[in-house]
Amino acid sequence: MSSRSRPRYNRVLLKLSGEVFAEPGLLDKIIAQVLGVRRAGVGLALVCGGGNILRGRDAAGMDRVRADIAGMLATVVNGVQLADRLGKKLEVTHLTARPVEGFVAGYSVERGRAELAAGRVLVLSGGTGNPFFSTDSAAALRAAELECAALLKGTNVAGVYSADPKRNPEARLYRRLDYDRALAENLKVMDAAAFALCRERRLPVHIFDIREPGAIIGIIKGKPTGSLVC
């Protein structure tokens, strides 16, 4: 990014699905973009999903609370991997909502804000620390707590559609829409709890294809990329 160009946001939170961690090549490309975001002087926190290992709501036969705890631990595994890979190139701090003594320190708002203020990239795992809440909700919550200017969510489609584009070829891509419409039309890109919190905090949400080359940098530069919910 040119030193003359001002980034659109001064601090963002990027939500990464667990599926990203099942594709090392894709993760490498995301890390390269993270380096570009930091070179632009933008503060960055990343929330890890755990669906590549275990998603609590899909754990058939398990008690839901225990299944969600297992899902939270799956996100910690991904967080350890991400922090290790990023830490070879940047100053990184990994914090989790469910501390793993001797491995990953516990998250607090004060610690998170201090790490970002010190210029470190923040890797966040463990979801919200509570069952029945998705990592989307964790991303919205952490973005609000850490005073991020925007939430970026990478998906496997180009943005928010009027219907599932994989099932309906006539589905329309929304380039921009408001929170109320996203909730009213039940557009399942983020869960309702996450959208509701973003609406309350007036937090812009960028939904984009995580595989699109340069998408993260594009959003930081202010390029029309994916869908914007605001």
pLDDT in tens, 116-170: 999 999 999 999 999 999 999 999 999 999 999 999 999 988 888 888 888 888 8
Report CA Rg, the chain.
17
**Helices and strands in the chain: count of H runs, count of E runs:** 7, 11
**What's CA 164's distance to the chain center, in Å?**
21
Q: What domains are there in the chain, each with its CATH number?
A: 11-229 (3.40.1160.10)
Altogether, the residues listed in the chain come to a count of 230
Handedness of CA 8, 209, 145, 196 (dihedral sign): positive
Distance CA(122)–CA(25), nearest Å, equals: 22
The tens digit of pLDDT for each residue in 169-201 reads 888 889 998 888 877 777 777 888 888 899 999
Give, as one character, the DSSP assignment of residue 58: G
pLDDT of residue 187: 75
> Which H helix or E strand runs over 16?
strand 11-16
Angle at 71 between CA 151 and CA 83, to 5 degrees: 55
pLDDT of residue 113: 98
The overall average pLDDT reported for the chain is 92
Quick one: average pLDDT of 208-216? 95
pLDDT of residue 3: 45
What share of the chain in percent tops pLDDT 70?
97
pLDDT of residue 59: 78
Contact 113, 148 (CB under 8 A): no
Closest CA to 118 of 186, 215, 45, 64: 45
74-83: b (≥16 Cβ within 10 Å) or e: bbbbbbbbbb
Distance CA(158)–CA(93), nearest Å, equals: 30
Quick one: average pLDDT of 200-225? 94
Handedness of CA 42, 15, 135, 190 (dihedral sign): positive
Closest CA to 138 of 14, 22, 23, 37: 14
Beta strands across the sheet bearing 105-106: 105-106, 92-96, 121-125, 43-48, 11-16, 150-155, 205-209, 227-229, 176-177
pTM over 0.95: no
Closest CA to 203 of 119, 147, 154: 147
